[in-house]
Amino acid sequence: MIFSDKQYTVAQQALEKLQTALLAVRAAGGDKQEWLRKIEADALESQISDIEVEIQEYEMLRDGQISFSERFSLADLPRILIQARIAQGMSQTELASALNMKPQQIQRYEATEYMGASLARLIEVSNLLGVRTTESFSTAEDDANGVYAWSGANTVAWDRFPGKEMIKRGWLSPGLGESTANAVRSYFDRVAGPQFASVLHRKKIRGENRPDEIALLAWQARILDIAQQRMAGAHLPVFEQDETWLPELRALTLSPDGPRKAVDLLWQHGIILAIEPHLPGSYLDGAAMLTADDKPVIGLTLRYDRLDNFWFVLFHELAHVFLHLFDSLHFDFFDEEGPVGDDHLEAEADAFALNALIADEDWARCLSRFALTDEAVKIDSERLGVHASIVAGRIRKERGDYTILTDLIGNGEVRARFMRGGP
């Protein structure tokens, strides 16, 4: 973990050297055998990935773009204290000053994960940084946005999973004499794998409500289960960073069965779309993630049974696939539709979705933005080649008025299409 700006600079320099070394290994030929070059390249790529994760974590904490949040044991408290300090924009020297200590002592504390600190000192540091040991820490007034992470599968409270609901939905069936918690753990390991409860798959949350992170983890396991089932015995094309097919997806908004056709179109381009209702306490509309072998998966809950919501959330998650999933962030994205605040990743995803559905220059020419009548919306949607719900939904979102154009947003027209043997 990176503790300071000085270490951050050193990490950037190390990353640059490793990337240069990787290029050299890939370009090498002649004497070295191919298998040896591959071993060297794999080792360098692993080191690069680790450093990129540390750099990205430090940047986002330092810049106040996210807050890290998790339910943690006391063994994890030292790491939480370090993350909280960085997230508050406080240097080691500034923390030392606030505690009337020498900076070298804080450096030793963090380097040894507070090994020599007394309980009284840990409490003092926790209070100063606003760390709540029953839950987590927060650096913003609205702490619904953040990142959930576990140090490993063994730190997850498996007995807190909604086991009864998971059994009721048919996700799992405990064996004779098997506890629900053990059945949940076995299910998770089988369909997702323990790595999905580690820092390699941190859960980035966007929403107005603070979600139950255990419910999110359970729901994610189900989405990966569905993806696994769909890939069994079927060939999923390789995903490519090619957005040229998105107009074809947008055109499906005009089809009465567009949502179901979208599943097939995404599959053709290497993306799995899975539908599963949200679990209580998750406040979830959609998510984007990678499987263990880097296949992109989008999960939707259809929490709001409206066409405008379906298409916007789908394109928003596609934005994460194209812009964020493959850039070494090691995030799984979980989204509740709502304001993005200062979160630049979610702002990028929103802008991508809005522009893919209706280009900005076309939107500027839409008279329905001001007329606010059903007729004006229908005229603009016909001109743009999209369903009227897309235009109506954007007007409602921009004006913050969800009482207008209610007859055009496709209420009750999504879930029924997936109830008939949905994905």
165-194 pLDDT per residue, tens: 999 999 998 888 889 989 998 998 888 876
CATH of region 68-143, choose from 1.10.260.40, 3.40.50.300, 1.25.40.10, 1.10.4160.10: 1.10.260.40
Q: Average the pLDDT over 59-71 and give the result.
A: 58
* Element (DSSP H or E) covering residue 45: helix 34-62
Q: How far apart are CA 285 and CA 300, in angstroms?
A: 6
Q: Residue 72 above 60 pLDDT?
A: no
Name the 3-class secondary structure at 174. coil
Q: Per-residue pLDDT tens for 121-149? A: 888 888 888 776 544 444 444 444 556 55
Q: Quick one: 134 exposed, middle or buried, by C-beta within 10 A (0-12, 13-18, 19+)?
A: exposed
pTM of the model as a whole: 0.68
pLDDT for residue 225: 95
Q: Which of 321, 341, 342, 340 is nearest to 332 (CA)?
A: 321
Q: Residue 333 above 90 pLDDT?
A: no
Q: How far apart are CA 37 and CA 25, in angstroms?
A: 6
Q: Which amino acid, residue 48?
A: I
pLDDT for residue 22: 86
Q: Between residues 31 and 218, which one has the greater pLDDT?
A: 218
Query: Phi and psi for 169 in degrees, rounded to 5?
Result: -80, -5
Confidence of residue 377 (pLDDT cuts 50, 70, 90): very high
When the pLDDT of each residue in the chain is averaged and rounded to a whole number, the result is 84
Q: Average the pLDDT over 298-303 and give the result.
A: 95
For the chain, the straight-line distance linking the first and the last C-alpha, in angstroms and rounded, comes to: 40
Q: Between residues 260 and 3, which one has the greater pLDDT?
A: 260
Strand duo 202-206 + 68-69: pairing: unpaired
Q: Average the pLDDT over 12-20 and give the result.
A: 90
pLDDT for residue 78: 81
pLDDT for residue 212: 75
Q: Residue 242 above 90 pLDDT?
A: yes
Q: Residue 258 above 50 pLDDT?
A: yes
pLDDT for residue 82: 86
